[in-house]
Amino acid sequence: MADKPKTGRRAFLKGGLAAAGGLAASKAAAAPDTAITKVQPWRKELGPGVDESGYGLPSPFESKVQRRNVPWLTVDTKTSINFTPIHHLDGTITPNGLCFERHHSGVAEIDPAQHRLMVNGMVERELVFTLEDLMRFPRENHVYFMECTANSGMEWRGPQLNGVQFTHGMIHNVQYTGIPLRLILEEAGLKPGASWLLAEGADAAAMTRSIPLDKILDDCLVAFRQNGEALRPENGYPLRLVVPGWEGNMWIKWLRRLEIGDKPWHAREESSKYTDLMPDGTARRFTWAMDAKSVITNPSPQAPITHGPGPMILTGLAWSGRGTIPRVDITLDGGKNWHKARMDGPSTPFALHRFYYDFNWDGGEMLLQSRATDSTGYVQPTKDALRTIRGVNSVYHNNGIQTWFVNELGEAENVEIS
Ligand SMILES: Nc1nc2c(c(=O)[nH]1)N[C@H]1C(S)=C(S)[C@@H](COP(=O)(O)O)O[C@H]1N2
Ligand SMILES: [Mo]
């Protein structure tokens, strides 16, 4: 703030503190603040040495920052799902240990020496690669979000989960290091008529998805690192498919086989699951790209406002499976007035974007919403607009606008405006 006096932010802060200043001044007069007047223990003694574990952890004072699950969500919720604490994070990168997890048969604990990637089907040469073989292909680095197709899926019929971690936390955004799949397929040689790829995981679910070859050859990766280090076991160690902008279910973890064909396979995860049940009873399939979406992470039910009226920072995340997010608008009054949020940090296709709205809270109730516009011009719809077309039987692809009601105490609640 102080290094940007041009914005007028300093004057604004001063004004705000002066408004609440009576309080601060009288407190100082009554009892000195020991955090400034006393010599703290960590100033008197030599601290502990360098990290002995060899792999560092966050400060113990940050222990509340945790992936969490919703106990009633699935019968086997402990082995199958948890959520990223997006209300505890800032910037755009998700730390590896906080990336949400979704497993259909638990984590495959793979010995990399015993892992192979096989390419078969409509290819000139069927191939099997060791990890060492793969390390000799040229690699690339890209930051991408991955959103579970069912993120916000529990909110179709109305507000249900009282926390942004649970309504929007099936998303993470990391830097992948991986091999363009195009290069691996060039090595195998595609036969004429090849147009689809089946990706298969090595977990007990043997998860399989059909993906059009156009997408595969365009930008898909076989990734082996996230944020510089090896993939975590829960995120697909040692290999995972990266399908930029498309639904999380297609990002096959523990990747072991790529089959080339000329039509989709209609696997379980693209027929009975991950299709969109419409009001007339038919199911929409192959809705792969994740539509533009945004959410205010702070304040939110798990992150209430803890200060009085005056300057405050509202922040959140926005993303689109079709490009970047040039614009997010914010309303404090349930949509009567909209304000342009300040986009901050990198803006690259298929990655999370961070927005801020810095304003002066009057201490009154608010109905907060954010609305994303992506680089194609598409505007995030209201939940009612989505329901008009899709009905209420859906689980997947809910990108509707989220509303938080904030009371005078700063507490927030998941609500909808009708
Ligand atoms: N092999 C395999 N791949 C998988 C899954 C799985 O259970 N097995 N789950 C899918 C689903 S539904 C999602 S949302 C993402 C979750 O990835 P994450 O655990 O890294 O967040 O992986 C996808 N890939
Ligand atoms: Mo998912």
pLDDT single digits (tens) 101-159: 999 999 999 999 999 999 999 999 999 999 999 999 999 999 999 999 999 999 999 99
Q: Mean of the pLDDT values across residues 71-93?
A: 89
Name the closest ligand to CA 248: 1
Does the beta carbon of 252 lie inside 6 Å of ligand 1? Answer: yes
Is residue 14 over pLDDT 70? no
Q: How many angstroms separate the alpha carbon of residue 354 from the centre of ligand 2?
A: 23
Mutate to test the pocket of ligand 1, among 104, 110, 269, 397 (most ligand atoms within 8 A of CB): 104
Does the beta carbon of 223 lie inside 6 Å of ligand 1? Answer: no
Residues 6+ apart with CB under 8 A from 91: 345, 354
Is residue 7 over pLDDT 70? no
Is residue 5 over pLDDT 80? no
Q: Mean of the pLDDT values across residues 396-415?
A: 98
When comparing pLDDT for 79 and 380, which is higher? 380
Binned at pLDDT 50, 70 and 90, residue 71 comes out as confident
Binned at pLDDT 50, 70 and 90, residue 23 comes out as very low
| Atom number of ligand 1 nearest to Cα 206 | 1
Ligand 1 atom 10, closest CA: 249
Is residue 400 over pLDDT 50? yes
Does the beta carbon of 225 lie inside 6 Å of ligand 1? Answer: no
Mutate to test the pocket of ligand 1, among 100, 207, 242, 256 (most ligand atoms within 8 A of CB): 207
Name the closest ligand to CA 153: 2
Name the closest ligand to CA 81: 1
Q: How many angstroms separate the alpha carbon of residue 410 from the centre of ligand 2?
A: 33
- Go through the domains of the chain in sequence order and give each one's CATH number: 77-281 (3.90.420.10), 293-415 (2.60.40.650)
Structure confidence by residue, pLDDT tens digits, 155-172: 999 999 999 999 999 999
Give the residues across from 415 on adjacent strands: 403
Q: How many angstroms separate the alpha carbon of residue 147 from the centre of ligand 2?
A: 7
Lowest mean pLDDT among 12-16, 292-296, 358-362: 12-16
Does the beta carbon of 235 lie inside 6 Å of ligand 1? Answer: yes
Q: Residue type at 149?
A: T
Helix (H, G, I), strand (E, B) or coil at 222: strand
Q: Residue type at 154?
A: M
* The pair of three-digit structure tokens given for residue 219, joined into one six-digit string: 């930008």
Mutate to test the pocket of ligand 1, among 67, 147, 251, 273 (most ligand atoms within 8 A of CB): 251
70, with CB counted inside 10 A (0-12, 13-18, 19+), is middle
Binned at pLDDT 50, 70 and 90, residue 16 comes out as very low
pLDDT of 180: 98
Gap between the Cα atoms of 180 and 281, Å rounded: 39
Mutate to test the pocket of ligand 1, among 76, 102, 198 (most ligand atoms within 8 A of CB): 102
Q: Mean of the pLDDT values across residues 271-291?
A: 93
Is residue 21 over pLDDT 90? no
Binned at pLDDT 50, 70 and 90, residue 10 comes out as very low
Q: Mean of the pLDDT values across residues 209-230?
A: 98
* The pair of three-digit structure tokens given for residue 79, joined into one six-digit string: 């082995």
Q: What is the mean pLDDT of the chain?
A: 92
Q: How many angstroms separate the alpha carbon of residue 290 from the centre of ligand 1?
A: 15
Binned at pLDDT 50, 70 and 90, residue 237 comes out as very high
Ligand 1 atom 18, closest CA: 101
Ligand 1 atom 19, closest CA: 101
Q: Mean of the pLDDT values across residues 396-409?
A: 98
Short-list 200, 208, 185, 196, CA closest to 261: 196
Report phi then psi at 122, rounded to 5. Answer: -80, 65
297 Cα distance to chain centroid: 12
Name the closest ligand to CA 243: 1
Kindly list the distances between the CA atom of residue 132 and the CA atoms of 117, 128, 163, 191, 253, in Å, as whole numbers in the listed order.
Answer: 11, 12, 43, 26, 19
Does the beta carbon of 100 lie inside 6 Å of ligand 1? Answer: yes
pLDDT of 17: 43
Binned at pLDDT 50, 70 and 90, residue 29 comes out as low
